[in-house]
Amino acid sequence: EFLGIYPLAFLNLLSSVFYFYFLFIKKDTSERSMAATYFEILIFSFLSELALGTGYGFFLYMIGLSSAVFYLVPSYGSVRFIYQLVGIGAAFLLKCLLMIAKISFPDIQEAALPYQTIFYMVNLGITATIVLASTFFYSKEMEEAWETLRYNMNHDVLTGLYNRRFFERQIEKVPLSEREQYVISMVDIDFFKVVNDTYGHEAGDEVLVMVASCLKDAAGQENLAVRWGGEEFILYFPRTTPNKVYPVMDELRRRIEGTTVKTAGKEIRITITGGIATGMADSNYEKVIRSADEKLYLGKKGGRNQIVM
């Protein structure tokens, strides 16, 4: 009496071999394999539901995976909608065959009937797990993508320092009437073009990263280290005075002067020049930056490797 169940058992064996091949032999978890798995499950579910009839829960896979495919193959873009349509179309066709055409396989259905509830509950649980897991991982990836986007919006990609846009937004948030005295120091790497021309742009990038690391240490937790553009940087010190900032900047200058960047078998030594300007409560920060830049220029004219206050 179990002769009628053999085709379905063979179908299940083929499905198991398919998963075993991808997971344990080929060890392929690429999106192409995920797409192949999606269609294999659709075919398996279609044939199982068609053979057993309604009430076994195989139909749930077709519906659940039509949403999960968006996580399984994210880089397939609009093709995923086609996959969805195939899944939904297959589900619609299946119901038409079962309810309108009234196709049935009595021998298989009779043999499987004692296990109907178990099949349904297991298939419901697996489908729910697939949908929940896909939703969870998709949401997690989206959160990570947004975090990366927010980071890149506020930071310089190469050095990890805050970028110009972030710095301007932070200062503009504080009304002029509420600003306390602050100090801005503009810093420039001496002869940076010579470094690029002599050692190459990769070496130049390593120099920028080294200087940025020193700037970040000098800024600490209370202040902002900003890559202003090219080889120019800004250190922003709120609620302080130039006399307190100057020792910090001069220590930064001496630290960079004593640091060697080793790249491609070469040792590169560089220096910085900086200018310090004070912003009062009602100061326009752009004017303060220009003042710091003017003092930086004086330092360049005066021989470089110095901080001008």
pLDDT digits (tens, 9 = 90+) for 200-227: 999 999 999 999 999 999 999 889 999 9
Do residues 182 and 279 lie in contact, with contact meaning Cβ atoms separated by under 8 Å? Answer: yes
Catalytic residue among 143, 231, 251, 294: 231
User: Quick check: 286 pLDDT over 60?
Assistant: yes
DSSP-H helix ranges across the chain: 6-20, 31-52, 58-72, 79-95, 106-112, 116-154, 164-173, 192-199, 201-219, 242-257, 285-301
Give how far Cα 266 sits from Cα of 35, 136, 197, 204, 256, Å. 50, 49, 14, 12, 17
CB atoms within 10 A of CB 132: 12
pLDDT at 177: 64
Q: Per-residue confidence at 31, pLDDT binned at 50, 70, 90?
A: confident
Q: Per-residue confidence at 167, pLDDT binned at 50, 70, 90?
A: very high
Structure tokens at 18: 């398919």
pLDDT at 274: 97
Q: What is the pLDDT of residues 124-138, one digit of tens each?
A: 998 888 888 888 888
pLDDT at 5: 65
Do residues 238 and 178 lie in contact, with contact meaning Cβ atoms separated by under 8 Å? Answer: no
Q: Per-residue confidence at 298, pLDDT binned at 50, 70, 90?
A: very high
Burial label, 126 (beta-carbon count in 10 A; 0-12, 13-18, 19+): middle
Based on the residue annotation, tell me whether 231 is a catalytic residue of this protein.
Answer: yes
pLDDT at 3: 46
